[in-house]
């Protein structure tokens, strides 16, 4: 690729011409107090910032943006900050997944419509990472991802707490009456001690690891705790590096290859990462023009054991992981199963990036011959109620449930399910198979994180802490249990999950990768022919657009009109 010159910069079309319109661009930039020397003949770098006052994961990104700008100025670029939708996982309802593609569209259009040559993408809270990357991939300007980083460890009563994972655990204890309401309130003030994302191997850290494995992040950046001073230094380094990437025209589609996505999947499996990672990797691959399916995840699911000993599948937290060597040491350990020659944002290969990395605690980052689980972290199941696939995280389930046969307990809505599980007369047993449907990409809408269905209070009091649970929903990466998720196609659009009735026998065999409703094919077909989805008011606005165009979970839940690699034309500047 030919090195860029000031005259071939994209922003030169705005600032470098001699016509009347360029006079306006320059004079309005001067209006903001900048000098000609600040922006003339320099790469213009957009900071796409997902900071907001209602996103605790991104509280510090307002400061980090200034640190990025410091690096851009030092490297000879011109930084401009462009705010984007924040997508706070803990605040946005019904689910941030409903708006992931909104952020992707916004990112792409912010970059297309402005005089921008490259971008630093500031995000980290679950859907911001794939949303920002999807938009940047489609626009294909040089881009580098700056992760928000995990928060500090939680503490309560002398115990170390992890986001989400310990919430679910102690909520079950509270519902069972083994801890008090006062205990619960004390825990509430100790579990989230700093800004940053969840410090378990939830979706945020999973996506950070995946993006670093794909080559779109500086080496080691994905695990730096948000409150560590190294995080500020990393932000400045991102600013410096993106300027050189613009001159070198190092774009996402020069980095993201089939090998990059191979590395993403291997990393996901070795982390026992969030099940959400599958949906997001599929969506990003389709934007990059890489043909990826659930079969690729299944093919690589046993290529490596789980070597990141992190909750909810393991013992430690992200702070421990970083000081044990972080993602660089993790990738060096995985080197025998990675495509080490893939290009990264550094201009070097993935293998070159981690060549000098060291593991400082091999209980946190295990060697390949001593994993915490021998198989991959996620398994793909198929059967007559999931012909296009569904997934489970075996390492987070009680082993007794990985081969199970039991009667279905079916719910058509989350509210119906929630009311039932709090009723101590509910007809259920430890063998029950809970089924929630109409919670998929269209039916949710947006495929909410409802897949870790709460265990009925009656069973909690009996000491039961896991059940087989099946849904067309997702679940938080911090969740755990024998939860079978992303059933495709979803029930709301007529998928066979719609045919399951309470009392039907469902058989699951994770080793055999199978899930089956034990009725005849003829009976299944007859039930589906008679199925009428629940009616609801016709949506307006974004929800209507989403319902009309979202693909199913096995395709990544992108919008059909956004997939593919055909670029939109550059805007006319008149």
**Residue ranges per structural domain of the chain:** 42-152+194-353, 154-188, 379-536
462: phi then psi, degrees, rounded to nearest 5:
-90, 0
**Whole-angstrom Cα distance, residue 132 to residue 134?**
6
Residue 105 or 376, more confident: 105
Which CATH entry fits the domain spanning 42-152+194-353: 3.40.630.30, 3.40.50.2000, 3.30.429.10, 3.40.50.2300?
3.40.50.2300
**Whole-angstrom Cα distance, residue 257 to residue 179?**
50
Say if residue 366's pLDDT is above 70: yes
**Whole-angstrom Cα distance, residue 173 to residue 187?**
13
Contacts of residue 171, Cβ cutoff 8 Å, sequence gap at least 6: 184
Q: Are 153 and 319 in contact (CB under 8 A)?
A: yes
What's this model's pTM, rounded to 2 decimal places?
0.96
Assign 110 a pLDDT band (cuts: 50, 70, 90).
very high
540: phi then psi, degrees, rounded to nearest 5:
-125, 170
Say if residue 186's pLDDT is above 80: yes
Assign 384 a pLDDT band (cuts: 50, 70, 90).
very high
Q: Which helix (H) or strand (E) holds 102?
A: helix 100-113
Beta pairing class for 154-156 and 379-383: unpaired
Percentage of the chain lying above the pLDDT 70 cut:
100
Which residues are paired to 81 by β-bridges?
A: 47
> Which tens digits make up the pLDDT trace of 410-447?
999 999 999 999 999 999 999 999 999 999 999 999 99
First to last CA, the chain: 29
CA dist 302 → 190, 392, 478, 511 (Å): 37, 14, 22, 11
Q: How far is CA 469 from the centre of its chain?
A: 22
Say if residue 264's pLDDT is above 90: yes
Q: Are 115 and 195 in contact (CB under 8 A)?
A: no
Which residues are paired to 567 by β-bridges?
A: none
**Whole-angstrom Cα distance, residue 466 to residue 565?**
43
Q: Are 57 and 148 in contact (CB under 8 A)?
A: yes
Residue 398: DSSP 8-state: -
Contacts of residue 540, Cβ cutoff 8 Å, sequence gap at least 6: none
Say if residue 290's pLDDT is above 80: yes
Write down the pLDDT at residue 349: 98
Q: If you average pLDDT over residues 135-161, what whole number do you get?
A: 96
Query: Which numeric CATH code is attached to 379-536?
Result: 3.50.30.80
Q: If you average pLDDT over residues 183-210, what whole number do you get?
A: 95
Taking alpha carbons only, the member of 315, 230, 286, 308 closest to residue 104 is: 286
Q: Are 202 and 164 in contact (CB under 8 A)?
A: yes
Write down the pLDDT at residue 166: 86
How crowded is the C-beta side of 437, counted as CA atoms within 13 Å? 27
Taking alpha carbons only, the member of 330, 337, 276, 275 closest to residue 308 is: 330
167: phi then psi, degrees, rounded to nearest 5:
-60, -50
Say if residue 362's pLDDT is above 90: yes
Write down the pLDDT at residue 338: 98
Burial letters 424-449, b for 16+ CB under 10 A, else e:
eeeebeeebbbbbbbbbbbbbbbbbb
Write down the pLDDT at residue 340: 98
Q: Are 138 and 131 in contact (CB under 8 A)?
A: no
Give the least confident one: 81-85, 361-365, 533-537: 533-537
**Whole-angstrom Cα distance, residue 518 to residue 524?**
9
For residue 299, the SS3 value is helix
Write down the pLDDT at residue 1: 62
Write down the pLDDT at residue 45: 98
Contacts of residue 370, Cβ cutoff 8 Å, sequence gap at least 6: 362
Say if residue 150's pLDDT is above 90: yes
Q: If you average pLDDT over residues 537-559, what whole number do you get?
A: 95
Mean model confidence pLDDT for the chain: 96
> DSSP string of 184-215?
HHHHHTTS--SSSB-SSSSHHHHHHHHHHHHT
Q: If you average pLDDT over residues 391-401, what whole number do you get?
A: 93
Burial class (CB within 10 angstroms; exposed 0-12, middle 13-18, buried 19+) of 285:
buried
**Whole-angstrom Cα distance, residue 554 to residue 92?**
24
């Amino acid at each position: 690729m030919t090195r860029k010159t000031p005259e071939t910069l994209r922003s030169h079309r705005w600032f470098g011409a001699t016509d009347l319109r360029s006079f306006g661009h320059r004079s309005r930039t001067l209006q903001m107090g900048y000098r000609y020397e600040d922006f003339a003949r320099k790469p213009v770098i957009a900071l796409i910032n997902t900071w907001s006052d209602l996103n605790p994961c991104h509280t510090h990104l307002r400061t980090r943006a200034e640190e990025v700008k410091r690096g851009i100025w030092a490297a000879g670029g011109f930084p401009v900050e462009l705010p984007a939708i924040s997508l706070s996982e803990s605040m946005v309802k019904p689910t941030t997944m409903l708006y992931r593609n909104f952020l992707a569209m916004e990112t792409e259009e912010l970059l297309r419509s402005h005089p921008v040559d490259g971008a630093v993408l500031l995000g980290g809270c679950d859907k911001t990472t794939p949303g920002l990357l999807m938009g940047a991939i489609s626009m294909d300007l040089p881009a580098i991802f700056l992760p928000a980083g995990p928060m500090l460890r939680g503490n309560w009563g002398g115990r170390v707490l992890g986001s989400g994972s310990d919430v679910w655990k102690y909520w079950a204890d509270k519902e069972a009456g083994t801890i008090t309401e006062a205990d619960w309130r004390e825990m509430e003030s100790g579990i989230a001690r700093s800004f940053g994302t969840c410090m378990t191997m939830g979706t945020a850290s999973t996506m950070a690891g995946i993006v670093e494995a794909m080559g779109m992040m500086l080496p080691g950046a994905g695990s730096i705790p948000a409150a560590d001073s190294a995080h500020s230094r990393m932000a400045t380094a991102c600013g410096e590096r993106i300027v050189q990437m613009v001159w070198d025209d190092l774009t996402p589609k020069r980095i993201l290859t089939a090998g990059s996505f191979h590395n993403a999947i291997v990393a996901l499996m070795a982390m026992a990462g969030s099940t959400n990672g599958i949906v997001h990797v599929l969506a990003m691959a389709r934007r990059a023009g890489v043909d990826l399916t659930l079969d690729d995840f299944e093919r690589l699911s046993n290529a490596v054991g789980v070597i990141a000993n992190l909750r909810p599948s393991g013992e430690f937290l992200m702070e421990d992981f970083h000081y044990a060597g972080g993602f660089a040491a993790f990738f060096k350990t995985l080197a025998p199963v990675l495509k080490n020659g893939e290009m990264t944002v550094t201009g070097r290969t993935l293998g070159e990036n981690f060549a000098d990395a060291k593991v400082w605690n091999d209980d946190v980052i295990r060697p390949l011959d001593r994993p915490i689980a021998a198989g991959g972290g996620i398994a793909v199941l198929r059967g007559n109620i999931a012909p296009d696939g569904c997934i489970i995280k075996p390492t987070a389930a009680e082993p007794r449930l990985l081969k199970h046969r039991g009667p279905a307990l079916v719910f058509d809505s989350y509210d119906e399910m929630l009311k039932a599980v709090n009723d101590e007369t509910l007809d259920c047993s430890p063998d029950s198979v809970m089924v929630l449907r109409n919670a998929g990409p269209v039916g949710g809408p947006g495929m909410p994180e409802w897949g870790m269905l709460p265990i009925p209070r009656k069973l909690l009091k009996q000491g039961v802490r896991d059940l087989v649970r099946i849904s067309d929903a997702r679940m938080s990466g911090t969740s755990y249990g024998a939860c079978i998720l992303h059933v495709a196609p979803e029930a709301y659009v007529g998928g066979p999950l719609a045919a399951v009735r309470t009392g039907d026998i469902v058989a699951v065999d994770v080793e055999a990768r199978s899930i089956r409703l034990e009725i005849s094919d003829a009976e299944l077909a007859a039930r589906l022919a008679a199925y009428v989805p629940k009616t609801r008011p016709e949506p307006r606005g974004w929800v209507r657009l989403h319902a009309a165009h979202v693909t199913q979970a096995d395709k990544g839940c992108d919008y059909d009109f956004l997939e593919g690699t055909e670029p939109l034309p550059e805007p006319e500047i008149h």
